[in-house]
C-alpha cells in the first residue's frame, strides 16, 4: 500500500515550478501526492501529472488565520501519512501539525521545531543551493540537482483557453514584462515596445492585474503603429489560461520572473533578460532558453561591476544592467 502524502506548496509561481522534480521523485517511489496550494499557484500543480489532487487553500497573504487553518486541518485529519512543508514559515507548518499527520518534513524555519518532526538544516542566507536542489533535498535523496522541471497540459484545455483568448498555436510571442520583486528586474517597457514592432507575429502581454498598466505602456505605442499587434491580457486571464497561452506560444520574452520559469518548464523557446538578479542562481532551466545578462558579457564596456545587486530599485539610479540590453540584442537572441 502506497504512502498518502500532503505537500504544502510555496506561494510564488516560480518556486512552485521548481518543486516539480521533487514531485516526480516522490511519485516514482509510490507516494500518492495531494498538493495544498494558494489559488494563484494551484494551476501550476495541475500541470504536473504526478500530482493526484490539488486542494485550493482558502488563505490570504499575511496573518495566521487561525480559524481557517483549524477548519482545513479538520478536513484533512486521517488522510495522510506524510507531509512535506515546502515554505519556511510557521503558518505553513501549522496545518499538518493540527491535522495530526504522523511524519512532517521540512526545513528548519521560523519557530517551528515542535511542528515538524523531520527537519533539514536551512543553509545560511547567500549559501542556499539552486532552488531545484533545495526542494528536491526534502525527498531524502540526491542526484536531482541538474534535473529540470517539466510541466504538461492536455491538448483539450489548451485549445479551449486559446479559443477563449482568440489565439492560434504558434501564432504569437508572449511578453511577460512584470517582476514581482521590483523595477530593478524589469526590462524597460520602451524596449519591449520597440521589440514588438520588429516581430513577424503579434505579441501577447501576460501578467497580473497589478501589471496591466505596465503592459499598456508597451501595447499602446505598438498598436499606434501596428493596430492590434499587441494584446494586453494582464489581469484578464486566469493563471490556467496564461499557462496555456505560454505553452502554445512561438516564444517567450521575459524578465527573471515566475512566468519565465513556467516557459522553461514547458520547453518553449525563450529569451530571459536579467538585471539585478543572477542567472547563476535562478536560471530558466530550458535547453531552448537564451539568457541575456551584461555581467557575463565580456564585450560590454565598461564592465558592469554593480550586478547583481539584488535590490528592488537601482541603488545607483541608472539601471544600466537592463537599459543597455537593447531590443536588437533580444531580437537576435530570438532568431
Domains in the chain, ordered, with CATH? 4-139 (3.40.50.2000), 155-334 (3.40.50.2000)
Higher pLDDT, 16 or 280: 16
- Of the pLDDT bands very low, low, confident and very high (cuts 50, 70, 90), residue 1 is low
> Is the pLDDT assigned to residue 42 strictly greater than 80?
yes
Q: Which strands, in side-by-side order, build the sheet including 118-120?
A: 51-56, 32-37, 4-8, 82-85, 103-107, 118-120
- Of the pLDDT bands very low, low, confident and very high (cuts 50, 70, 90), residue 64 is confident
How far is C-alpha 276 from the geometric centre of its chain's CA atoms?
17
Q: What's the pLDDT score for residue 191?
A: 98
- Of the pLDDT bands very low, low, confident and very high (cuts 50, 70, 90), residue 317 is confident
Summarised one tens digit per residue, pLDDT across range 130-159 is 899 999 999 998 766 668 999 999 999 999
- Of the pLDDT bands very low, low, confident and very high (cuts 50, 70, 90), residue 29 is very high
d(CA 15, CA 172): 26
Helix (H, G, I), strand (E, B) or coil at 163: helix
- The fraction of the chain above a pLDDT of 90, given in percent, is 79
d(CA 37, CA 10): 7
Q: Chain-wide mean pLDDT for the chain? A: 94
Instruction: Find the distance separating the first CA and the last CA of the chain, reported in whole Å.
Output: 51
Summarised one tens digit per residue, pLDDT across range 211-247 is 999 999 999 999 999 999 999 999 999 999 999 999 9
Q: What's the pLDDT score for residue 144?
A: 61
> Is the pLDDT assigned to residue 182 strictly greater than 90?
no
- The fraction of the chain above a pLDDT of 70, given in percent, is 99
- Of the pLDDT bands very low, low, confident and very high (cuts 50, 70, 90), residue 110 is confident
d(CA 112, CA 118): 11
Helix (H, G, I), strand (E, B) or coil at 175: strand
Summarised one tens digit per residue, pLDDT across range 192-201 is 999 999 999 9
> Is the pLDDT assigned to residue 62 strictly greater than 90?
no
> Is the pLDDT assigned to residue 125 strictly greater than 80?
no
Question: Which cell numbers hold the place of 228?
Answer: 492590434
Regarding pTM above 0.85, the answer is yes
CB atoms within 10 A of CB 267: 16
Q: Residue holding cell 497580473?
A: 208
Amino acid at each position: 500500500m502506497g504512502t498518502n502524502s500532503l505537500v504544502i506548496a510555496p506561494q510564488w509561481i516560480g518556486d512552485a515550478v521548481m518543486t516539480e522534480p521533487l514531485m516526480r521523485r516522490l511519485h516514482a517511489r509510490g507516494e500518492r501526492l495531494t498538493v495544498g496550494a494558494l489559488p494563484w499557484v494551484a494551476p501550476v500543480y495541475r500541470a504536473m501529472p504526478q500530482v493526484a489532487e490539488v486542494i485550493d487553500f482558502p488563505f490570504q497573504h499575511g496573518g495566521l488565520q487561525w480559524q481557517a487553518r483549524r477548519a482545513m486541518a479538520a478536513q484533512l485529519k486521517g488522510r495522510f501519512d506524510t507531509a512535506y512543508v515546502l515554505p519556511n514559515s510557521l503558518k505553513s507548518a501549522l496545518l499538518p501539525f493540527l491535522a495530526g499527520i504522523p511524519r512532517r518534513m521540512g526545513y528548519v524555519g521560523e519557530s517551528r521545531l515542535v511542528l515538524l518532526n523531520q527537519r533539514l538544516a536551512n543553509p545560511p542566507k547567500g549559501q542556499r543551493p539552486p532552488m531545484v536542489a533545495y526542494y528536491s533535498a526534502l525527498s531524502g535523496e540526491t542526484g536531482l540537482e541538474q534535473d529540470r522541471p517539466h510541466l504538461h497540459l492536455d491538448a483539450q484545455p489548451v485549445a479551449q483557453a486559446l479559443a477563449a483568448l482568440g489565439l492560434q498555436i504558434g501564432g504569437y510571442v508572449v511578453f511577460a514584462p512584470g517582476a514581482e520583486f521590483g523595477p530593478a528586474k524589469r526590462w524597460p517597457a520602451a524596449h519591449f515596445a520597440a521589440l514588438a514592432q520588429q516581430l513577424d507575429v503579434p505579441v501577447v502581454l501576460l501578467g497580473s492585474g497589478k501589471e496591466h498598466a505596465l503592459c499598456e505602456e508597451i501595447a499602446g505605442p505598438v498598436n499606434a503603429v501596428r493596430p492590434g499587434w499587441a494584446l494586453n491580457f494582464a489581469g484578464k486571464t486566469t493563471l490556467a489560461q496564461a499557462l496555456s497561452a505560454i505553452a502554445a506560444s512561438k516564444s517567450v520574452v521575459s524578465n527573471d520572473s515566475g512566468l519565465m520559469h513556467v516557459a522553461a518548464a514547458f520547453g518553449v523557446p525563450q529569451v530571459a533578460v536579467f538585471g539585478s538578479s543572477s542567472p547563476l542562481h535562478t536560471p530558466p532551466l530550458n535547453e531552448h532558453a537564451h539568457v541575456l545578462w551584461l555581467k557575463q558579457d565580456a564585450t560590454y564596456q565598461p564592465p558592469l561591476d554593480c550586478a547583481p545587486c539584488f535590490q528592488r530599485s537601482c541603488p545607483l539610479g541608472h539601471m544600466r544592467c537592463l537599459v543597455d540590453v537593447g531590443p536588437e540584442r533580444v531580437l537576435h537572441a530570438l532568431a
